[in-house]
Chain A
Amino acid sequence: MSELMFDAVSVRYGGRRGLTAVDQVSLTVPAGQVVGLVGESGSGKSTLARAAVGLAPVSAGRVLLGGADVRGLPRRRPLQLVFQDPYSSLDPRMSIGESITEAMPRGAHRGSAGRRAEVARLLELVNLDPDRAATLPGHLSGGQRQRVALARALAGRPDVLIADEITSALDVSVQGAVLNLVRSLQRRLNLSMLFISHNLAVVRYLSDQIAVMYLGRIVEVGPAEQVLTDPQHRYTRELLAAAPSAHSSLFDGDLGDLADTEPADPHHPPSGCRYHPRCPIGPLVHVDRTVCVSEDPAEGAARRRHRAACHFTASDLAPTAIPRGGSAS
Chain B
Amino acid sequence: MQRIINDPDKVVEDMLEGFLKVHKDLVVKTDNPRTIKYKNAPVEGKVGVVTGGGSGHKPAFIGYTGRNMLDAVAVGEVFSSPTAKAFYDAFRAADSGKGVACLYGNYAGDNMNVKMAVDIAEEDGIEVKTVVANDDVASAPITEREKRRGVAGEIFMWKIGGAKAAKGGSLDEVIAAAQKAIDNTRSVGIGLTSCTIPAVGKPNFKIENGTMEVGIGHHGEPGIKVTELKTADEIAQIMLEIILPDYPFVAGDEVAVLLSGLGATPVMELYILYSKVEALLQERGIKVHRSYVGNYFTSLEMMGATLTIMKLDNELKDLLDMEADSIGLKQF
Q: Does B bind A? A: no
Q: Which residues of A contact B (CB under 8 A)?
A: none
Q: Which residues of B contact A (CB under 8 A)?
A: none
